A and B are shown apart, each in its own frame.
Chain A
Amino acid sequence: MAADPSPAPTSLSFPRSTFAKLTPGPFLHAHLKQNPPIRPSGRTLTQFREQQITTGSLTHSHGSAVVRLGDTTVVCSVQGEILKAADIPSPPDESADNEDLLETLGLLVPNIELSTGCSPAHLPGNPPSTLAQSLSWKVRTLLYGSEIVNPEDLQIMFTAPKIDEEDDAPVPEVKAYWTLYLDIMFISLDGNPFDAAWLAVMAALRTTRLPRASWDADREAVVCSPALEHYAHLTLHTTPVTATFAVFSTANPLKQRSEAESWVLTDPDTSEEEVCREALTVTVDGKRVLGIDKAGGRVIGMEAVEECVKLTFARWKEVSTILP
């Protein structure tokens, strides 16, 4: 841990690590009270943890990424599978203005696996916890809502050849779709799982290469070309970037509300998450805000939300340059 930058107002009679374990709230408060405020890990209030992105380590997947955000490590793998149009029970209307086509067909399937022993709170062998399920749902909502992939990019078309000269020009029809399964597995968790998971999803999608697929009319099946030069990257239309903030507040039902102090911490780790009762996640892309997610808490007001959105735009600039 980083050493204290300035002496504490009162001297402690027990070591720093004991203080952190016994009373984590006052421990964090003691750091934030300093001028300028600092966090126990040595970061400033608006500093993200250092991230490391490695892509292409999984041999069986079409795309993969391992992302480390501080001590949170997550693996994301993208695997494409073929869904034949004939197998869809009630084919949806495929006209161009059907925005929900991707979601109706379920062509992007994320799944978050937290029960891997990544932290003492997530022991292996358990069914998915509420946190895992809600994270999966958030990733799914962001994937569909940000329109990062268009249905046309995942379609496998077939144009029947003209038999007679008098026939009309053959209309290309969709014979199958690519379904992308995104498996996100946490190897270690030290706070802020959503940002790490989304960063891994972005890195994996940007390095995903799908084989060239075509419809074989004689075999009535989709055939993929095994040649490496025929593998193509996915076309991604947006680059959503997320940022999570936690709020530490000394507000207490026994004290006056005006006496309470609060600080907004960017990219919280586990020790900070445990003592913060309020959190905010902002998702942006370029100049647009794609989502703001907040559930509960009374500290953050309009100015704080605007400040967080500004910080997320700054983060977008940083992340969009380092993504592969």
Chain B
Amino acid sequence: MPLDTSTYSLARLRLDGRRAHELRRLSASLHTQAAADGSAYFEQGNTKVICTVAGPSESKRRGGANSSEQNQDATVEVEVNFAGFSGTDRRKRARGDKRTAELAHTISSAFTSTLLLHLYPHSTITLTLHVLSQSGSLLATCLNASTLALIDAGIPMLAPLAAVTVATTAAYADNEEEADVLLDVNEQEEVELPFLTIAGTGEGEGVRVLVLESRVQMGRLEGMIAVGLEGARRVRGVLDGIVREHGERVLEGKVG
């Protein structure tokens, strides 16, 4: 148990040596695949994800009979593939895996409300995520990688979506004073502690995505959300820097 032992309360250092509000190392590259409309490779600590964007392209669904009544906006389709070597056990996930489907649905709804889909009626934007290595904060990493890939594809959005995970240390009510909010959880912390994934667009615009699947004390929730939004704002700054650096290289002609 990484945090129950007294070492955390003594030194306030997590198992990987970080403090409570430290993010893991974030690094990314844009336009990694020339064949795709947009692509990005994103690393958050040891969690590594590649995202490719295809579209907007012609939609293959529905006949045109009552299309004026139906929603004409573009749709966002998401597919998540786990490489066999991504987790500690080599396991090929079945294609209809419900957990993967839920992950894809969350990402799809997040971007449906963020992208300016009314600009591309009757089209489909397809996001494909390949998870190369899982080490905690999977949903957050996927959202960040998707944001970068969509920016690379040039699809307009209201604001870039930045996501992060937060956890709380003490799991029982007695330890209220000891409770610390940890930012950017890794694999071992995800297993032991209640955590949530939160995504915002920064600048006080509110919460875009919030996923909490473990039990947590009511009183902790507000603190976690506040730290989460602050963390998302910092991640947004990092993503911003990555995009600007890429833009400079494009302008200098170093990237095709």
On A, residues with C-beta under 8 Å from B are 58-61, 64, 71, 75, 77, 79, 81, 111, 113, 116-120, 123-125, 181, 183, 185, 187-189
Which chain A residues border B65 with CB–CB below 8 Å? none
- CB within 8 A of A71: which of B34, B81, B83, B86? B34
Do A116 and B130 touch (CB < 8 A)?
Answer: yes
- Can you show 25 pairs from A to B with CB atoms below 8 A apart? A58-B132, A60-B88, A60-B134, A61-B85, A64-B85, A71-B34, A77-B85, A79-B84, A116-B50, A116-B128, A117-B33, A117-B35, A124-B52, A124-B81, A124-B128, A125-B128, A181-B84, A183-B83, A183-B90, A185-B132, A187-B33, A187-B50, A188-B32, A188-B34, A188-B35
A198 to chain B, nearest CB (A): 18
Which chain B residues border A183 with CB–CB below 8 Å? 83-85, 90
Chain B residues 123-149 with CB under 8 Å of chain A are: 128, 130, 132-135
Do A116 and B81 touch (CB < 8 A)?
Answer: yes
Which chain A residues border B32 with CB–CB below 8 Å? 187-188
B53 to chain A, nearest CB (A): 9
Residue in A closest to B45 when the chains form the complex, CB atoms: A59
A44 to chain B, nearest CB (A): 24
Q: Determine if B241 is an interface residue (Cβ-Cβ < 8 Å).
A: no
Which chain B residues border A181 with CB–CB below 8 Å? 84, 90
B150 to chain A, nearest CB (A): 15
Contact mask for chain B residues 31-58; partner A; CB cutoff 8 A; 1 contact, 0 none:
0111110010000001000101010000
Which chain A residues border B54 with CB–CB below 8 Å? 117, 123
Residue in A closest to B53 when the chains form the complex, CB atoms: A117
Do A75 and B84 touch (CB < 8 A)?
Answer: no
- CB within 8 A of A117: which of B36, B83, B86, B133? B36
Q: What count of chain B residues pass the 8 Å CB interface test?
A: 25
Give CA–CA (A61, B83) in the complex, Å.
11
Do B34 and A185 touch (CB < 8 A)?
Answer: no
Do A120 and B85 touch (CB < 8 A)?
Answer: no
Which chain A residues border B128 with CB–CB below 8 Å? 116-117, 124-125
Residue in A closest to B47 when the chains form the complex, CB atoms: A59
Give CA–CA (A274, B46) in the complex, Å.
38
Give CA–CA (A77, B48) in the complex, Å.
14
Do B83 and A119 touch (CB < 8 A)?
Answer: no
Sample of 16 more A-B contacts, CB < 8 Å, known A58-B132, A64-B85: A58-B85, A59-B135, A60-B86, A60-B88, A77-B85, A79-B85, A81-B90, A111-B84, A117-B33, A117-B54, A120-B35, A124-B81, A124-B128, A185-B132, A187-B32, A189-B35
Give CA–CA (A187, B87) in the complex, Å.
19
Residue in A closest to B83 when the chains form the complex, CB atoms: A185
Which chain B residues border A189 with CB–CB below 8 Å? 35
Which chain B residues border A58 with CB–CB below 8 Å? 85, 132-133
